[in-house]
Amino acid sequence: MRSVRSGEKVITANDQRSSSSSAAAPMIKIDGLVKKFGPFTAVDEISFSVARGEVLGFLGPNGAGKSTTMKMVTGFLAPTAGHISVCGHEVGPDTLAAQRMIGYLPEGAPAYADMTPLQFLRFIADIRGLKGPAAMAAITRAVDRTEIAGVMEQPIETLSKGFRRRVGLAQSILHDPPVLIMDEPTDGLDPNQKFAVRKLIAEMAPTKAIIISTHILEEVDAICSRALIIDRGRIVADGTPAALTARSRYHNAVTLTVDANDADAARPVLKAIEGVASIEEDARGADHSFTLFAESAGETDTSLVDRVGNLAREKSWNVRTLYGEPGRLDEVFRSLTRSDTQIAEAAMAPGRESAA
């Protein structure tokens, strides 16, 4: 177990790493990282590490410090304080050696617009020290894995957002680095492209340490072995997706969706079930959902699902869905972070204006 400080609260999370020594050794290690822009603190003394085989989902609202942290880890932005180590090379004293270990997909996947993907990847291969047959083999491998063969001769400026993103992904994996830092890797991709990129990340994960910044919470469940939530420059949660989801108040709740015509009849029957503390309702068109919260919240109780199912059959309700809730990561995210609107409202609260 290890502790993660977030303001005044300390959250403990299991590390969930392999017991083998090679997997347990951190490939990325961050200690007391701080970044200030004048009086504004963008990153506020965060510490964490990532081991080989881990895919870390780096989550947070806009302006939380995610991209700033990634820029510091990759050596493109100097920290105000703290230490960063990548594969044993300290960023700052040994930045170039650390950068050789990293594949970096920045926000927006920048590339030279007048180049073709082939020209751009040849340029990146040259920068990475790959020459001749080794360069072409690396380019071919990256092109195949990112599925961009059909656009290799088109100017990058003419490509769709999705293809530009995949060209950026190709350059990040070109030299087969042990560490990958990716800022919104599926941004702009259609569902099929997202699936392909997630599959690629999963295939690479066993031999690499990977950090992915994302706003897509379903992506965390799909590909991440661990999730870290940052808010206003501080870590507020760190654990496996399942562990974070289990913190949701919906964890182990039961949701029943019936035909809207059955809602009035179902309501008193569901409220009368022994052990149900409260019920939430959601009416959408022809469907009406009831979410039941047990009095023994947090304990797994499949019998509640069984009892609701038996009642639905007994009463002949037209059931659309019935399931036990694993929890809702979006609800956990909202409970731990503050939106721009909430921050603005707090700044304008009574007493703040007079103090300004």
DSSP for 202-266 reads HHHGGGSEEEEE-S-HHHHHHH-SEEEEEETTEEEEEE-HHHHHTTSTTTT-EEEEEEGGGHHHH
pLDDT (0 to 100) of residue 4: 41
Query: Given the structure tokens 């003394």, which residue do they identify?
Result: 45
**At residue 31, does pLDDT exceed 50?**
yes
Q: 278 with 356: CB under 8 angstroms?
A: no
**190 vs 213: CA distance, rounded Å:** 18
Specify the 3-state DSSP secondary structure of 322: strand
Q: What is the mean pLDDT of the chain?
A: 87
Tell me the angle at which helices 132-146 and 161-173 cross, rounded to the nearest 10 degrees. 140
pLDDT band, residue 339 (cuts 50/70/90)? low
Instruction: Give the pLDDT of residue 217.
Output: 87
Q: What pLDDT is stored for residue 97 in this prediction?
A: 96
Give the residue, 286 or 339, on which the prediction is more confident.
286
The pTM (predicted TM-score) of the whole model is 0.81
In this structure, are residues 179 and 27 in contact, taking their beta carbons and an 8 Å threshold? yes
Q: Stretch 325-334: mean pLDDT, rounded? A: 92
Please count the residues of the chain. Answer: 356
Residue with tokens 């399942």: 242
Confidence (pLDDT) at 8: 37
Specify the pLDDT at position 337.
Answer: 92
Angle at 86 between CA 215 and CA 121, to 5 degrees: 70
- The answer to whether 292 touches 276, Cβ cutoff 8 Å, is yes
pLDDT tens-digit profile of 263-320? 999 999 999 998 899 999 999 999 999 999 988 755 555 788 999 999 999 999 999 9
Q: Which of 255, 225, 231, 269 is nearest to 325 (CA)?
A: 255
pLDDT at site 17: 36
The token pair at 144 is: 């195949």
17 versus 243: the higher-pLDDT residue is 243
Q: Is the pLDDT at 161 greater than 70, yes or no?
A: yes
Residue 262: pLDDT over 80: yes
Return d(Cα 275, Cα 294) in angstroms, integer.
Answer: 6
Which is more confidently placed, 232 or 215? 232
- For the chain, helix, strand, coil in percent to 5 are 40, 30, 35
pLDDT for the residue 353 = 43
Q: In a 3-state reduction of DSSP, which class is residue 28?
A: strand
First to last CA, the chain: 42
Give the pLDDT of residue 354.
Answer: 38
Is 121 a residue whose pLDDT tops 80? yes
Q: Greater confidence, 341 or 165?
A: 165
Pairwise pLDDT comparison (215 vs 198), residue with the higher score: 198
